[in-house]
Structure 1
Amino acid sequence: MQVVFPNLVTLKVHGCNNSRFLFSFSVAKSFILLKHLKISICELLQEIVSSTRECNEENMDDMFPKLNTLKLKALPNLARFGTGNYVEFPVLKELEIDDCVKLVEFIGNKVATSSEDTRNSKEIEQRILEEEENLDVKSETVVQYILFDKKVGFPSLERLSIQGARELKAIWHVQLARDSFRRLKQVDVQECKNLVSLFPPSVIGRLNALETLKIWGCGSLEVIFELPGRSNVKEIHADTSFPHDQLKHFDCQNLDSINIYGCHSLKQIFPASVARGLQYLTRLDVDKCDAIEEIVGEEEEKEGLETIPPRFVFSKLTSVELKNLPQLTSFYPKTHASQWPLLEKLEVVRCDKVGILAAEFSFSQKNREMNHLMSQPPFFSMNEGSFVNLEDLELTCSEIWNGPPPANPLVFDKLKSITFHGSCAPFSKQASVIFLQRLQNLEKIGMDNCSLEAIFVNQGISIGEKKHDDAVRGGGLPRVRILSLQRMDELMHLGNDNSQSLLFPNLETIEVSWCMRLKSLESYAIFFRNLTTLTIYACDGLKYLTSYSMAKSLVQLTTLEVNYCDGIVVIVSSNGDDDACTARNEIAFSHLQHLKLTRLPSLQDFCSGNCTLKFPSFMTLQVEHCPIKLKISPEGVLMTEIDHQFQQNRVDYDSDDEEEGDVETAEKNPEILSEGPAS
């Protein structure tokens, strides 16, 4: 054989739109040193290596002996890499297949072909048409359109990425080359619309090296890990000979990260036997999967044996994010125990059927019966050693904990931040407040997209009843330093105007953003004298920021920022109280170091009335795109004057609105804000 390219190491082919195949068999055999091959945007390409009479089983297995990476991208008519009885890529480590919408098999069966290219092309086209017509025709063991089978070998493959292969129903056949896929570290599957099953039993036993699994936008996917005899997938894999015992101790010892998004036919993530093998998993993310009901599927019960509730131990898991899962009800559908000793971050957000986050579980018969009788079982059923390192919690459910306090005082002991989403109203129930009071290290409480008109709504809540322990009798939430409110479309005021209950006695930071109907920040539940940072963003309903009395209480304030609030007229308002400044006609922000006002088109003055405002002369003052200018005199007195250039700047800004669409909304997003300060 003549060697055509004996020294070629890297080959990139781009935009060859007139070829139906790329290499003849003899040319492909000549790439004895080729390490990197990338083929992209070749519209008519149907095969990489031409199917000709010279292609036979005796000389196919040593093709591309040094190939390390293979990337196929935007090849809309590619049906296969080539045809043959067996092709092995002995050192291939990385395989990327992106936007090859008609790819149906990597190595096709040998067909009788002509040596003439025109004849070869017609036969390839005819075969593709026949495959499309027989999409649903299945044999006893395999359905059409499975990418890898025993005709191709990947003994060294570490990274596999498949995107946009819309015709595929499965990636792996039940019969594979003996040493293939045993070194896989990363699997990335995206936008494979017809994919029904990911890992068949023949592959599950080969995943000991797998570290990262990512599945996005596979709307027909029903099963990720398919066990023999337990699959609901319709005839994709009919092989029942695979020994189930091989999966009893499934150990994916290197699996570190699982990320699943937009798989709307998926009802569970793992079978129980697979979940037990995830001893080294550190991160689990599941988002926007409309049909998921549980994370771990129910284990098959054995007849005649007493059922012992399963235990799941995730000894290395540090982060779990479960978001936008409308059918999710439980981690495991029946009584179980779980341990999460290293978990630091937990999100269960917009999972509307999850009502109670967690409860303590005991293997005693009495407690098992109590758990069974619960009207709404908790999402997590935990035993000792769980959540002892949890620091960041985000949730939508109405209750965090069910039942008496945890027997282990370390449960939730390190929790520093809680963010409530959706329908949560954490300050409307006595039990919720008591639970929050027990969190010795809680520093931040956030509320995001909660449908509330007021945060503090139940005047009957008592803080520190005698029957509670000393931590509760201390009153309120004294350790909380930060309160963050975001995207609360219904919020009009903080509430609790008439109560003497002080919920936040030591609050230092308040952050409010995208609360468009908010009218006032004042509340008797908050002690403002310790506040050091106040940041307001995109709250168009505010006409003023503080009243005189509230402004006087901000004695420790060091940072004040008000940005993109279209309705705000003044920062400090007399609010109709003419006597507010009678005793001392002065308000001093003596500790203020940074004042920033940005995009306040209705701002007329910093303060209404005739009150004098005093600031430190060394503070940073930043006013951008506002109708007024602010200056501080050497004596520290704030002075206001009209910005005569603002009107012209406003005209220019409105012109940009007309040209670019809804620029006002876009510019409120700091990620796309590019305009500099006004001159």
Structure 2
Amino acid sequence: MYLESLSLDNCWWDEMKSLCFPQLKALSISNFGGSVLITISGFRSLQQLQRLVIINCALLEEIVEDVKGDEHAEMDTQTIFGLEQLKSVFFSCLPNLKSFIHGSNYECYMPSLKEVEVRNCGLLSLFRGSISRNLQQLETLVVFNCRLLEGIVEDGRGEAINFCKLKILWLMHLSSLKSFYREKKEMHLGSLNNSGISCVQFQPLFDGMVAFPSLKYLEIKDLEITDIWGNHNYDDYKNNFVASSFCKLYMLEVNHCRKLESVIPHAMLHRLRNLERLDVSYCRGLRNAFPSCIARDLTHLRQLRFIRCTMMREIIRGSEREEEEEEIIVFPELKELELVDLKILTCFWCCLSGKSSTFTYKVQFPSLVNFKLNSCGKINIEAIELGSDDSNCTLRSLYIESDNQMQLPCKWQVHLYNLKTISLSGCWWHDVESLYFPKLQELEVKSSGRSALFTVSGFRSLLQLQTLKISECALLEEIVEDVRGDEHAGMDTKTIELFQLDSVIFKDLPNLRIFAHGANYQYYMPALKKVEVDNCGLPSLFTSPVFRNLHLETLVISNCRLLEGIINDGRGDETSDTDDKIFILCQLSSVTLNDLPNLRSFSCSVSYAFNMPKLEKIHVLGCPQLENFTCLKTCTELVSVCAERL
């Protein structure tokens, strides 16, 4: 047959001995019901094969029929043959597959193989040593959910193997995998020590028997390992390719390795200097990530993430205090730092000081762009420096959520000039006088224990603010601290101009009394489109001058028991001019008023007329005091009204 591409689903030939495909380049088999796919002679005919795909063959045990005993004695073929053009292999859902492309009486030579992906297969090992020694072109190796797999390479020669071009290695959901390299005598049972315990379980994932001089991306997920690298010194190896293992590693991800005790040991010193991304999550046995000597070595690290490592007390493991040469570690190129759900984390870098006490050292991130700290116990954030005194302001995003009330360090404020996003829960600055965020676009505050968040000058600095969200602040009385009397005499304006503010959301602020105005100031928000207020103590939302300059599209107010009107008619606002009593809300399309037991009208005392040409929906429920929208005329188009009564 002179086929170049063959794809078969749920079918195959009954007679395998005569199969011959000398021109075939791509072979794809799915839902085959047999235990053997092809004979050795048929497989040897695939000299032009470049891609092999086999999926969903539940009964398949061997790709190539393994001839044994007397049958093999009659064969006139060599037991080692080559598929010199094969570049890509993909096996998936072959639960009974016993071998890759080798058997007891044959082996396959694949010198051009670049990609291997094996998923949900019943293999005990993937490559024999003789095969793996010839994988000089292999660049990508992905092994996923092979629950019986004990080793990737099985060999008995005891010689180092070089995966010289491997760049991507993913090992995921391999519950039986103990080590990448396994000797034949270790397979299945493992050797026993004097206590009768298998020595294999103490073997690291990488033990120096396989070299990875070109590896850039390494992902390890859901492996029952205690050690990744071992304590051997790679520099002691005579083979140059072993000595250069992992030196080009760019990204390391370690997830769901529950028994892992350390991420990078001292033995890896000077080997991971090219590492830029380190991501560790759901490793519940992990107490720290690496020692201080490794931390100082990670000079090119750009992203560092630790998520839900529940036993982690510090990121950097310290030694005795007197052994540390310097009391600060700088990560000069780190851009992203994310620490999430590290419940007992106490510090970033701690050292023993005496028998029982600890000393916290400083860490510095002069290039940090995004910083996220979420539910991390009682971490000492005073020891975290966002930059040196002469460094640029690089931070763009600050996300901190604390389970306990926390005061943020005042020394951070000088490095927050270029912030665009702030999301803070359970924390704020004690000194609000120096807060200055001229480039901030999104501000979210939750569970703050303060009565006011900003001074007038600080809030006026928010010239780029677009979104304001404040929730669950039981003590908050006003957003902006209202300066009165002699203190106010030095102020040069009564207007806080927020030209870009587009959305305001307030929720669960029971003591909030003032929003868009104070005794000595009021807001100007010409871009405001959406206002949502839920369970707040406001008696009203806007003064008439503030409301007149709005371009609202959506207004939603719920569960505000003290609210009497949307507009507060302060003294001096009353007017007899008919034009001044008309509010033109050109963009307002939706109004929702829910559970407002004291709401009487849209305005508290003076009656205004409203022109709302785009109003489409009014939803009014639980407002028993509300008799009409306003005493004067309201002009709208056709409106959908949902109300108990008006």
Q: TM-score, normalised to structure 1's length?
A: 0.65
Show the counterpart of 1:554. 523
Question: CA 1:334 to 1:206, structure 2 compared with 1: closer, same or farther past 3 Å?
Answer: same
The yes-or-no answer on 1:523 pairing with 2:479 is yes
The yes-or-no answer on 1:581 pairing with 2:570 is yes
Conserved 8 A contact 1:248-1:273: no
Show the counterpart of 1:70. 89
Question: CA 1:506 to 1:229, structure 2 compared with 1: closer, same or farther past 3 Å?
Answer: closer
3-state DSSP of counterpart to 1:332: strand
| Within-5 A mapping of 1:424-503 | 425-426=405-406, 428=407, 432-439=408-415, 441-444=417-420, 446-447=422-423, 450=425, 452=426, 461-462=430-431, 475-477=434-436, 479=438, 481-482=440-441, 484-485=443-444, 491=447, 495-497=450-452
* Distance (Å, rounded) in 2 between the aligned partners of 1:500 and 1:514: 16
* Distance (Å, rounded) in 1 between the aligned partners of 2:585 and 2:99: 68
Show the counterpart of 1:535. 503
Question: CA 1:549 to 1:607, structure 2 compared with 1: closer, same or farther past 3 Å?
Answer: farther
3-state DSSP of counterpart to 2:403: coil
3-state DSSP of counterpart to 2:81: coil
Q: Deviations over 1:269-318 (max 9, x none)?
A: 112232531222221111222111121258xxxxxxxxxx6662323222
* Distance (Å, rounded) in 2 between the aligned partners of 1:393 and 1:106: 41
The yes-or-no answer on 1:419 pairing with 2:388 is no
Show the counterpart of 2:557. 569
* Distance (Å, rounded) in 2 between the aligned partners of 1:315 and 1:538: 43
Conserved 8 A contact 2:24-2:46: yes
Aligned mate of 2:344, from 346, 353, 358:
353
Show the counterpart of 1:252. 246
Question: CA 1:261 to 1:515, structure 2 compared with 1: closer, same or farther past 3 Å?
Answer: farther
Conserved 8 A contact 1:13-1:38: yes
Question: CA 1:166 to 1:434, structure 2 compared with 1: closer, same or farther past 3 Å?
Answer: same
* Distance (Å, rounded) in 1 between the aligned partners of 2:284 and 2:271: 26
Question: CA 1:440 to 1:20, structure 2 compared with 1: closer, same or farther past 3 Å?
Answer: closer
Conserved 8 A contact 2:160-2:209: no
Amino acid at match of 2:373: L
Question: CA 1:547 to 1:556, structure 2 compared with 1: closer, same or farther past 3 Å?
Answer: closer
Give RMSD over aligned pairs.
5.0
Aligned mate of 1:395, from 349, 352, 373:
373
Amino acid at match of 1:216: K
| Within-5 A mapping of 1:10-25 | 10-16=26-32, 18-25=33-40
Conserved 8 A contact 2:207-2:229: no
Higher strand proportion: 2
Conserved 8 A contact 1:569-1:605: no
Q: In structure 1, list runs of 5 or more residues that go unmatched.
A: 108-147, 231-241, 299-308, 360-367, 465-474, 629-636, 648-679
* 1:538 positional shift: 9.7
Conserved 8 A contact 1:168-1:192: yes
Aligned mate of 1:94, from 109, 112, 115:
115
Aligned mate of 1:32, from 42, 47, 62:
47
| Within-5 A mapping of 1:89-488 | 89-100=110-121, 102-106=122-126, 148-150=128-130, 152=132, 153-173=134-154, 180-198=162-180, 200-201=205-206, 203=208, 206-218=211-223, 220-228=224-232, 243=237, 250=244, 252-296=246-290, 312-335=296-319, 338-357=329-348, 375-378=357-360, 381-382=362-363, 386-396=364-374, 397=376, 398-402=379-383, 408-410=388-390, 413-423=393-403, 425-426=405-406, 428=407, 432-439=408-415, 441-444=417-420, 446-447=422-423, 450=425, 452=426, 461-462=430-431, 475-477=434-436, 479=438, 481-482=440-441, 484-485=443-444
The count of aligned residue pairs is 535
3-state DSSP of counterpart to 1:421: strand
* Distance (Å, rounded) in 1 between the aligned partners of 2:84 and 2:308: 46
Question: CA 1:408 to 1:439, structure 2 compared with 1: closer, same or farther past 3 Å?
Answer: closer
Amino acid at match of 1:484: L
Q: In structure 2, list runs of 5 or more residues that go unmatched.
A: 1-16, 181-203, 484-494, 537-555, 622-632
Conserved 8 A contact 1:211-1:254: yes
Conserved 8 A contact 1:9-1:34: yes
Question: CA 1:290 to 1:165, structure 2 compared with 1: closer, same or farther past 3 Å?
Answer: same
| Within-5 A mapping of 1:595-614 | 607=602, 609=604
Show the counterpart of 2:13. none
Conserved 8 A contact 2:303-2:335: yes
Conserved 8 A contact 2:436-2:458: yes
| Identity in percent | 16
* Distance (Å, rounded) in 2 between the aligned partners of 1:266 and 1:65: 40
* Distance (Å, rounded) in 2 between the aligned partners of 1:314 and 1:72: 37
* 1:327 positional shift: 1.6
* Distance (Å, rounded) in 1 between the aligned partners of 2:57 and 2:618: 51
* 1:215 positional shift: 1.9
Conserved 8 A contact 1:564-1:599: no
Q: Deviations over 1:466-490 (max 9, x none)?
A: xxxxxxxxx334557345337x5xx
* Distance (Å, rounded) in 1 between the aligned partners of 2:533 and 2:62: 56
Show the counterpart of 1:83. 103
* 1:33 positional shift: 0.3
* Distance (Å, rounded) in 2 between the aligned partners of 1:437 and 1:520: 22
Show the counterpart of 1:675. none
* Distance (Å, rounded) in 1 between the aligned partners of 2:524 and 2:160: 74
Amino acid at match of 1:394: K
Q: TM-score, normalised to structure 2's length?
A: 0.67
Conserved 8 A contact 1:358-1:401: no
3-state DSSP of counterpart to 2:382: strand
Q: Deviations over 1:486-525 (max 9, x none)?
A: 7x5xx4x774159979764523537466957989884335
Q: Deviations over 1:586-628 (max 9, x none)?
A: 999999997686988779999453567899999xx78779569
* Distance (Å, rounded) in 2 between the aligned partners of 1:543 and 1:597: 27
Amino acid at match of 2:138: L
Q: Deviations over 1:149-177 (max 9, x none)?
A: 44544221110001111122333457577
* 1:8 positional shift: 0.4
Show the counterpart of 1:507. 462
Q: Deviations over 1:64-97 (max 9, x none)?
A: 2211100000112112223146432211100001
Show the counterpart of 1:42. 57
Amino acid at match of 2:403: S
* Distance (Å, rounded) in 1 between the aligned partners of 2:89 and 2:258: 31
Q: Deviations over 1:322-348 (max 9, x none)?
A: 122222223332246644221111112
